[in-house]
Structure 1
Amino acid sequence: MKLVAIDMDGTLLHTEKEISDHTVSAIQRLQKEGHAFIIATGRTLQDAKKIVSTAGIPADGYICANGAMIADRNGHILTEKHLGLHVATDIASWLHERQFYFHLATSEGIYTTDGTYQFFLDDLHAYAREKNDGGKMAAIIRDQADRQLNNMGVKMLPSPEDIPGYDFTAYKFLVLSLFPQKLQTIRTAWEPNPSIALTSSGRDNIELMPFDAEKGSGLTLMAKQLGVTPANTVAIGDNYNDLSMFKTAGLSIAMGNAEAEVKQYADTETADNDDNGVAKAIETHIFGIRQ
C-alpha cells in the first residue's frame, strides 16, 4: 500500500480551480487498488472536502491549513495547532493598518475584515498601471479572485479587534499582494516572532501559521494512522509550503509549474497542473505506466 499526499492549488487543481477528468480517473483507480489518497493543502477542511467530494474522489485523510489541522476521511479532527486569538488579533490589526488583503482560516470557516477587499482592488489597480495591457490582466485576476472567494464563502468580521469574541480556532492567515516588496515587509516584521511560521503557496502570497504547523508532520501522522511506512509515502506539490512534505515523503514529486527552487528539493518532476501532472505522476510511479 502506498500513501499519496497531494497539494491542491497549482497541483491537483488546474488553473480554473477544478480537477480534470483524467486526474479524477487516476485517483479513483489509485483508491480501488488499495492505496491511500491524502489531501495536503493550505485550504480549510470544509473547503477541501467539498472540492474532492464534488469531484467524486473523497480523500482518505486531510492535512489542512498547511498542517495546522489534520482530519480522517470522515472529517474527524485528529490533531490541530492554532494561533492564540490575541496573537491572531495582533496579526490582523497589523495587516489591516497596512492595507493588506488577508483572510483567516478557522475551525468555523474563513474570515476577513470589512475593507480588505478594497485593499485588494487598490493593489490590483496599482499593478495594472505598471503593466502593458494591464487592464485586461487586472480583469482576469479579479474574475478568478471573485470566483474563488465566492466558492470559499468568506465571512466578515467588523474589525480585527473583534476576533477574541468569536468561538473559533484560528489556524492561519493568507495574505495576498501582487507586489513582492510589499509582502517582504511582512517577513521583516513577523519572521523574528518565535510563535509564528511563515511560508508561501505562490508568488502573490504569504501565509502566517503556528510555528509548529507544517505539511511534513501531518504526512507523518497520516502515514502512522493508516499503517503506511515512511518509505511508501509519496508527496506531490508545487510550492514552498510543500517542502516539509517533500523532506518527509519516501518519494517527492514536483509539478512542472513548480517554482525552480522547489523543484530542487524534489526527487523527480511531472507535468504541470494544466497538463494532468498529478494523473501522470500516479500512472508513472504507482501504476508503472510509461508516459
Structure 2
Amino acid sequence: MKLVAIDMDGTLLHTEKEISDYTIAVIQHLQREGHSFVIATGRTLQDAKDIVTKANIPADGYICANGGIIADRDGYILSEKHLDLHAATRMASWLHTRQFYFHLATSDGLYTTDDAYQFFLDDLNEYARMKNDGGKMAAVIRDQADRQLNNLGLKLLPATADIPSYNFTAYKFLVLSLFPEKLNAIRTAWETDDQISITSSGTDNIELMPFDAAKGSGLTFMAKQLGIAMENTIAIGDNYNDLSMFETAGLSIAMGNAAPEVKTYAHMETAENDEDGVAKAIENYVMTARQ
C-alpha cells in the first residue's frame, strides 16, 4: 500500500481549475487497488473537500492551509497549527498600510479588507502600464482573478485591528502582487520573525503561516495516521510550498509546469497539469496495469 499526496493548484487541477475525467478515473483506480489518496494544498479544508467530493474522488485525508490543518476523510480535524490573533493583527495592519491585496484563511472562512480588491486593481493597472500590450494582458488577468475571487466567498474585516475580537482560528495569509520586488519586501520584513513561516504557491504570491506549519510535517502525520511507512509515500506538486513535502516523501514528483528550481528538489518529473501529469505519474510509479 502507498500514500499519494497531491497538491491541487498547478498539479491536480488544470488551468481552468477542473480535474479531468482521465485523472478522476486514474485516482479511482488507485483507491480500488488499496492505495491512499491524500490532498496536500494551501486551500482551506472545506474548499479542498468540496472540489474532490464533487469530482467523485473523496480523499482519504486532507493536508490543508499548507499543513495548518490536517483532517481525516470525513473532514474531522486531527491537528491544526494557527497564528496568534495579535500576531495576525500586526501582519494584517502591515500589509494593509502598504496597500497589498491579502486574505486571511480562518476556521470561519476567508477574510479580507474592503479596499483590498482596489489595491489589487491598482497593482494590475501599474503592471499593465509597464508592459507592451499591457491592456489586453491586464484584462485577462482581471477576468481570471474575478472568477477566482468570486468563488472564494470572501468576508470583510471592517478594520484589521478588529481581528482579536473574532471567534475564529487564523491559519495563514495569502498576499498577491504582480511585482516580485513587492513580494520580496514582505520576505525581508518578516523572515526574521521566528513565529512565522514564509512560502509561495506561485510567482504572484507570498504565504505567511505559523512557523510549524508545512506540508512535509502534515505528510508525516497523515502517513502515521493511515499506517503507511514514509518510504511508501509519494508527493506530487509544482511549487515552493511543496518542497517540505518533497523532502519528506519516499518519492517526490514535480509537475512539468513547475519552476526549474522546484524540479531540482524532486526525484522525478511528470507532464504538466494541463497534460494530466498527476494521472501519468500515478500510472508510472504507483499502479499495476490498468484494467
Match of 2:2 in 1: 2
The separation in 2 between residues aligned to 1:85 and 1:249, in whole angstroms, is 32
1:142 aligned residue: 142
Matches within 5 A, 1:53-68: 53-68=53-68
Q: Does 1:17 align with 2:17?
A: yes
- Superposed displacement of residue 149, structure 1: 1.3
Q: 1: distance between equivalents of 2:28 and 2:61? A: 15
Structure 2 counterpart of 1:66, one-letter code: N
C-alpha distance in structure 1 between counterparts of 2:67 and 2:83, whole Å: 13
> Alignment partner of 1:121: what SS?
helix
Normalising by structure 2, report the TM-score. 0.98
Q: Please give the alpha-carbon distance, in whole angstroms, between the structure 1 residues aligned to 2:161 and 2:40.
A: 31
Unaligned runs of 5+ in 1: none
- Number of the residue aligned with 2:95: 95
Tell me, in whole angstroms, the C-alpha distance in 1 between the residues paired with 2:59 and 2:135: 39
- Counting only pairs closer than 5 Å after superposition, residues 77-156 of structure 1 correspond to structure 2 as 77-156=77-156
User: 2:203 aligns to what?
Assistant: 203
Counterpart residue number, 2:240? 240
TM-score (norm 1): 0.98
Secondary structure at 1:18's aligned position in 2? coil
Offset of 1:80 from its aligned partner?
A: 0.5
Aligned letter for 2:280?
K
In structure 2, distance between residues paired with 1:167 and 1:20 = 38
Q: Distance in 2 between matches of 1:289 and 1:178?
A: 44
What amino acid maps onto 1:166 in structure 2? Y
Q: Distance in 2 between matches of 1:58 and 1:132?
A: 44
Q: CA offsets per residue over residues 143-191 of structure 1, 9 Å max, x none?
A: 1111111212111111111111110000000000000001011001000
Which consecutive aligned stretches of 4+ in structure 1 deviate over 4 angstroms post-superposition? none
> C-alpha distance in 2, partners of 1:280/1:289?
12
Aligned counterparts of 2:27 and 2:149: Cα–Cα separation in 1: 27
- Aligned pairs for 1:162-173 within 5 A: 162-173=162-173
Question: Which consecutive residues of structure 2, in runs of 5 or more, have no partner in the other structure?
Answer: none
State how far apart, in whole Å, the 2-side matches of 1:106 and 1:59 are: 21
User: How many aligned residue pairs are there?
Assistant: 290
Q: Following the alignment from structure 2 to structure 1, what is the Cα–Cα distance between the partners of residues 46 and 22?
A: 24
2:260 counterpart of 1:260: yes
Tell me by how many angstroms 1:139 deviates: 1.2
Residue identity in the other structure for 1:177: S
Counting only pairs closer than 5 Å after superposition, residues 42-57 of structure 1 correspond to structure 2 as: 42-57=42-57
Matched with 2:277 is: 277
Give per-residue Cα distances to partners, 1:216-242, cap 9 Å, x unaligned: 000001000001010110000000100
Residue type of the alignment partner of 1:68: G
> Residue in 1 aligned with 2:71?
71
Three-state SS of the structure 2 residue aligned to 1:173 is strand
Describe the superposition over 1:37-56 as per-residue Cα deviations: whole angstroms up to 9, x where unpaired. 00000000011011111111
Counterpart-to-counterpart distance in 2, 1:151 and 1:25 = 26
Q: Separation in 1 of the partners of 2:27 and 2:135?
A: 39
SS in 1 for 2:149: helix
Taking the aligned partners of 1:143 and 1:180, their CA distance within structure 2 comes to 21
Distance in 2 between residues matched to 1:289 and 1:9, nearest whole Å? 28
> Taking every aligned residue pair, what percent have the same amino acid on both sides?
76
1:289 Cα offset (Å): 5.7
Tell me how far apart the structure 1 counterparts of residues 210 and 50 of structure 2 sit (CA, whole Å): 25
Q: Which residue of 2 aligns with 1:190?
A: 190
For 1:181, give the aligned amino acid: E
Q: Which residue of 2 aligns with 1:251?
A: 251
CA distance in 2, matches of 1:142, 1:19: 23
Show the counterpart of 1:215.
Answer: 215
